[in-house]
Amino acid sequence: MPSPTTPGYALITGASSGIGAAIAREYARRGKPLVLVARRAERLEALAAELSAQAPCVVIAADLADPATPQRLFEETRARGLFVDTLVNNAGFGTPGRYLSADWKTHADFLQVLMTSVAQLTHLYLPAMEAAGRGRILNVASLAGLVPATAGHTLYGATKLWLIRFSETLNQECRTRGVHVTAVCPGMTYTEFHDVNGMRDKVNKLPKGLWLTSDQVAKLGVDAVEAGKPRIVTGKANNVIAALSKYLPNWLASALIGSRSKDFRDAD
């Protein structure tokens, strides 16, 4: 069992690019040892080489769409004698279009990566954190979980809302045991996410004031979980959008978001 002085690693899923890689860089700047997890081994190795002068890095190539992966990750880190006192659930992807435009295997993989693996990894790593009296769990959610639903990307906002509520509830359960749980809710962020899901041309038309860099999001998220904040929305504009969504009548908020949804959602 780890003691309060046992060196702790930050395990980051989806660490090969975007916000995940930025969070890895942020923790490395703070001297935090890292376990970098993603499907693309060559990208992880390149990131580990970049960061190794700042912090120890362990690379584990794994696909969280495989239901066996969370248990395998846990067993591998335990076999290596690594105490994971920080878990960053960041892995994810988008499924553009209507719900019926994708086959069930795609949706099943999406739910496995964005929900089931998050719940299972948390269930696996949390006991040792509580036993040591210290731990951090940072869940990368989205502004999409706080605004009215729009057509397209059907499961995305729903899973992010679940992740926010999961984080807030878990924080209530764990905060007296030395473990902080935070949902970071970015809006538009400069990553390759929109290139992968084919929405780059559309989202580039959005106002520049809505965008943050992945480095900005990473620092805000890490600062928030260290401070014990259960939720943080990144950026002033996104906080305004979240507040309007909360306090405006639902029909009006839905109408406002819906009128611009084609700029950031593919509903075809």
One-letter amino acid at 230 equals P
Least confidently predicted of 33-37, 133-137, 197-201, 221-225 = 197-201
Domain housing 47: 8-263
Task: Give domain status of residue 210, yes or no.
Answer: yes
User: Under a CB-based contact definition with an 8 Å cutoff, are residues 86 and 8 in contact?
Assistant: yes
> Is 99 a catalytic site residue?
no
Of the chain, the end-to-end C-alpha distance in Å amounts to: 52
Of residues 148, 160, 156, the one with CA closest to residue 99: 156
pLDDT computed for residue 6 by the predictor = 72
- What is the pLDDT, as a whole number, of residue 244? 78
Q: What is the reported pLDDT for 1?
A: 58
Catalytic residue among 125, 156, 190, 247, which? 156
Strand partners, 25: none
For 93, the 3-state DSSP assignment is coil
CB 142 within 8 A of CB 156: yes
pLDDT band at 200 (very low <50, low <70, confident <90, very high): very low
Whether 167 is covered by a domain: the verdict is: yes
48 domain residue, yes or no: yes
Confidence of residue 149 (pLDDT cuts 50, 70, 90): confident
Please report, for the domain that includes residue 188, its CATH number: 3.40.50.720
User: Is 124 a member of any domain?
Assistant: yes
In a domain, 3, yes or no: no
Decide if 1 is inside a domain.
Answer: no
Count of C-beta atoms within a 10 Å radius of residue 143: 23
Q: Which of 80-84, 114-118, 134-138, 204-208 has the lowest mean pLDDT?
A: 204-208
The per-residue pLDDT for range 202-249, each reduced to its tens digit, is 445 555 667 799 999 999 999 999 999 999 999 888 888 888 777 666
pTM of structure: 0.86
d(CA 222, CA 230): 12
49-60 confidence digits (pLDDT tens)? 999 999 999 999
Structure tokens at 66: 């495989």
Residue ranges in the chain assigned as alpha helix (H): 18-29, 41-51, 69-79, 104-111, 117-132, 154-174, 193-196, 200-203, 214-227, 236-247, 250-260
Examine residue 237 and state whether it is found in any structural domain, yes or no.
Answer: yes
268 assigned to some structural domain: no
Beta bridge partners of 189: 212
How many folded domains does the chain comprise? 1
Residue 135 DSSP label? E
pLDDT in the model for residue 232: 97
Cα gap 77→36, rounded to integer Å: 11
Whole-number pLDDT of residue 180: 98
